[in-house]
């Protein structure tokens, strides 16, 4: 237990600590920027902001070596871009196109192999895991494993924060 | 000088008779050759610090390599310093002609004196002497050294024992390790080479052994198993299938409750459900946080972090354990959803405050009773909070969100059954 304790005190060491730091900072920022919402619409907005902050800090904590973290960051950036400048939707398309064409040929090649596993399931998994659209099954499973691990961490941390705040 | 130093070395280390003979033989070989490799001296001393083999030349190369890489000063004083003291020529010989020596000796004895070769190879190859090395290495032992060099570099202390069985028939490069999911680059061009048995045994240890990337040839040698097609396409296909099955096994460990499911399709279903449930949890928790946050003092986040970390350390001591908790929570969640929603509500109604479940959670991680409450308290939230300060609108909001979650979860359950 002690080594874990020490490692968690070092902020840059583990995924959990990195995520927590970033997430807490963004939560503080959200709290400072907006007053406490009293109507459902504001609550929705705030919830969306919190969720975005959580995803963003998770992707940052996971590092840019993973396809899913990069894809998630791109998606968030595109969304903010789109919201920021509504008159330029082409930005998003260009960025997404770049992402998919990089490994698009891979997908073409492996399309036939998916049938042995079940194409609909694989496609479902692709939709769930960010950035999974343009990956072969092998790396998709790899990314899914890492994504599940990070999601677990995220849920733990958020639950803990919520428990602390609610008590 | 030979005789003076050699017995010293032999007596200082705990070497078996065979090893002593081997060392003596090597000694004689080195004394004959006078190649000077001065530049590697410093490297080798560092290498020998890396490769601290307490018993000197072990019978098992794998064990040799998998010894701890921590330097052993006592050993340094006893055994290896004598070797160092043999003089630069000794090292030089180790380096240059040592390879020949190793090969020669390896051909005579099964136990590789190429034990030293990894030590030398580790740094030597790093300097780019691979072409020379590859020319000189003509035995499977030496090929193993190639691999072990990489193991050394990666500072992997896991056992590569499985590969030791097939020392003599080692595949050039590391096909099995290349197949491991850790490898990022696999330029597969399958060609038949070596043992299928070793492939199997190595695959079982694949999860343990880290990647040892093939330096010289960037392709994997695969052998067709007995009674199977030798077509290159089918070989590649088989390699790919094995990779996928290995990753599915890893996912099986991650996702809770997948031990009984054997098929790929069922596993994928489980994985999809689990990912969906995790994402839903994140959404729900973010909504909870959005609603709760402003009430609390957020002034010092560093202080909060420091205070929270010890609590985390106690509450989530190991990721495995915490994931286990989450897993149990996930299962409990499913079971809970089986009940009527009204029952849920009544259960929540009994939990007057959120504090008791929280305290229970903090005290004992493995108490299953508190875990469903963890999920239930979010539903409690909708019923308790409004009584204190919340708007009716907020309450409706939470109800809607929670009901959506329950509906989806019940669908999930129906799918499972």
Q: From the list A4, A36, A161, which residue is nearest B318 (CB)? A: A4
CA end-to-end span of chain A:
26
The phi, psi pair for A129, rounded to 5°, reads -80, 125
Query: Quick one: pLDDT band at residue B112, thresholds 50, 70, 90?
Result: very low
- Of A96-105, B37-46, B100-109, least confident by mean pLDDT is B100-109
Quick: pLDDT tens for A86-116. 655 555 555 554 454 444 444 444 444 445 5
- Helix, strand, coil: what percent of chain A each, to 5? 80, 0, 20
For residues A1 and B317, the answer to whether their CB atoms sit within 8 Å is yes
For residues B121 and B133, the answer to whether their CB atoms sit within 8 Å is yes
The answer to whether the CB atoms of A163 and B361 lie below 8 A apart is yes
For residues A77 and A35, the answer to whether their CB atoms sit within 8 Å is no
B255 vs B202, more confident: B255
Domain edges within chain A: 10-93+133-166
Mean pLDDT of A133-145: 87
Q: Give me A143's structure tokens.
A: 């990314």
Quick: pLDDT tens for A5-24. 444 455 457 888 888 888 88
Quick: pLDDT tens for B126-135. 444 444 444 4
Residues 6+ apart with CB under 8 A from B310: A5
Selected residues 136-165 of chain A with any CB under 8 Å from a CB in chain B: 137-138, 141-142, 144-145, 147-149, 151-156, 158-165
Beta-carbon count within 10 A of B38 CB: 11
**Dist. CA B125–CA A91, nearest whole Å:** 48
For residues B267 and B258, the answer to whether their CB atoms sit within 8 Å is yes
- Of A155-159, B98-102, B289-293, least confident by mean pLDDT is B98-102
Query: Quick one: pLDDT band at residue B243, thresholds 50, 70, 90?
Result: very high
b/e map of B42-58 (b: 16 or more CB within 10 Å)? ebbbebbbbbbbebbbb
Mean pLDDT of B381-406: 46
Place of tokens 């009293």: A38
The answer to whether the CB atoms of A54 and B317 lie below 8 A apart is no
Distance from CA of A84 to the nearest CA of B (A): 22
Alpha helices (H) in B139-263, listed in sequence order: 140-154, 161-164, 175-179, 196-204, 232-254
Quick: pLDDT tens for A39-57. 888 888 888 888 888 888 8
**Prediction pTM value:** 0.44
A contact test, residue of B289, B306, B353 with most A CBs within 10 A: B289
- Of B45-54, B213-222, B282-291, B343-352, least confident by mean pLDDT is B343-352
**Nearest by Cα to B35 from B115, B140, B120, B118:** B120
B333 vs B163, more confident: B333
Mean pLDDT of B374-392: 43
Quick: pLDDT tens for B176-193. 444 444 444 444 444 444
**Dist. CA B390–CA B380, nearest whole Å:** 13
Query: Quick one: pLDDT band at residue B294, thresholds 50, 70, 90?
Result: low
């Amino acid at each position: 237990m002690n080594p874990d304790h020490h490692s968690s005190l070092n902020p840059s060491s583990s995924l959990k600590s990195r995520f927590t730091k970033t997430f807490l900072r963004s939560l503080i920022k959200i709290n400072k920027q907006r007053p406490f919402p009293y109507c459902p619409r504001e609550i929705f907005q705030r919830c969306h902001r919190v969720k975005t902050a959580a995803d963003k800090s998770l992707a940052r904590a996971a590092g840019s070596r993973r396809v899913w973290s990069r894809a998630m960051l791109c998606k968030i950036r595109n969304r903010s871009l789109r919201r920021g400048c509504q008159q330029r939707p082409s930005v998003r398309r260009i960025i997404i196109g770049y992402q998919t064409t990089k490994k698009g040929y891979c997908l073409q090649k492996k399309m036939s192999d998916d049938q042995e596993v079940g194409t609909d399931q694989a496609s479902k998994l692709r939709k769930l895991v960010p950035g999974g659209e343009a990956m072969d099954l092998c790396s998709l499973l790899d990314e899914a494993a890492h994504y599940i691990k990070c999601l677990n961490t995220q849920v733990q941390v958020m639950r803990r924060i919520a428990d602390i705040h609610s008590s | 000088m030979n005789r003076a130093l050699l017995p010293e070395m032999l007596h200082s280390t705990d070497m078996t008779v065979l090893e002593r003979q081997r060392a003596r033989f090597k000694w004689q070989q080195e004394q004959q050759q006078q190649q000077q490799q001065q530049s590697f001296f410093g490297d080798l001393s560092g290498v020998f610090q890396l490769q601290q083999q307490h018993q000197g030349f072990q019978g098992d190369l794998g064990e040799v390599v998998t010894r701890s890489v921590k330097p052993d000063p006592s050993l340094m004083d006893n055994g290896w310093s004598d070797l160092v003291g043999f003089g630069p020529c000794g090292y030089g010989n180790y380096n240059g002609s040592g390879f020949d020596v190793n090969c020669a000796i390896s051909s005579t004895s099964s136990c590789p004196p190429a034990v030293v070769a990894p030590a030398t190879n580790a740094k030597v190859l790093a300097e780019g002497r691979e072409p020379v090395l590859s020319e000189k290495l003509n035995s499977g032992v030496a090929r193993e050294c190639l691999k072990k060099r990489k193991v050394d570099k990666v500072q992997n202390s896991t056992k590569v024992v499985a590969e030791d069985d097939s020392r003599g028939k080692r595949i050039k490069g590391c096909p099995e390790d290349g197949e491991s999911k850790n490898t990022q680059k696999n330029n597969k061009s399958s060609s038949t080479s070596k043992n299928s048995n070793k492939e199997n045994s190595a695959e079982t240890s694949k999860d343990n052994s880290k990647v040892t990337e093939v330096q010289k040839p960037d392709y994997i040698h695969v052998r067709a198993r007995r009674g199977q097609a030798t077509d290159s396409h089918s070989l590649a296909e088989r390699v790919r299938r094995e990779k996928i099955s290995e990753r599915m096994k890893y996912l099986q460990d991650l996702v809770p409750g997948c031990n009984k499911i054997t098929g790929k399709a069922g596993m994928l279903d489980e994985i999809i459900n689990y990912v969906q449930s995790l994402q839903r949890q994140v959404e729900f928790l973010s909504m909870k946080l959005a609603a709760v946050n402003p009430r609390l003092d957020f002034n010092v986040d560093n202080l909060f972090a420091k205070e929270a970390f010890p609590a985390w350390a106690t509450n989530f001591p190991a990721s495995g354990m915490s994931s286990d908790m989450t897993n149990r929570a996930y299962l409990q969640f499913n079971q809970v959803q089986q009940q009527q929603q009204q029952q849920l509500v009544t259960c929540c109604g009994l939990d007057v405050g959120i504090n008791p479940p929280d305290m229970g959670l903090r005290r004992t991680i493995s108490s299953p009773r508190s875990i469903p409450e963890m999920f239930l308290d979010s539903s409690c939230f909708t019923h308790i909070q409004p009584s204190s300060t919340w708007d009716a609108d907020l309450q409706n909001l939470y109800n809607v969100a929670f009901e959506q979650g329950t509906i989806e979860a019940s669908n999930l359950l129906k799918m499972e059954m």
